[in-house]
Amino acid sequence: LTPTRGITFTIGTYLSSIILVMVQVLVLFLIAFFGFASYMMNNLLLVLPIIFILASIFIFLGISIGYLFKSEETAIIGSVSLCIIFLIASELILPIETLPKMVSMFTSFNPFVLGETILRKLIIFELPIMSVIKETAILGGYAIIAFFLALFGQKRLKKDL
pLDDT at 60: 96
pLDDT at 39: 66
pLDDT at 38: 63
pLDDT at 89: 85
pLDDT at 53: 97
End-to-end CA distance of the chain: 16
Q: How many CB atoms within 10 Å of residue 92? A: 12
Helices (H), 69-132: 72-88, 101-107, 111-119
Give the 3-state secondary structure of residue 49. helix
CB contact set of 77 (below 8 Å; sequence gap of 6+): none
Full pLDDT tens readout for the chain, 161 residues: 677 787 888 899 999 999 999 999 999 888 888 877 666 667 788 899 999 999 999 999 999 999 999 899 999 999 999 999 998 888 887 788 888 888 888 888 999 999 999 999 988 888 888 999 999 999 999 999 999 999 998 888 777 65
Q: Which DSSP helix (H) or strand (E) runs through 36?
A: helix 6-36
pLDDT at 95: 83
pLDDT at 93: 79
d(C-alpha 27, C-alpha 48), whole Å: 13
pLDDT at 6: 78
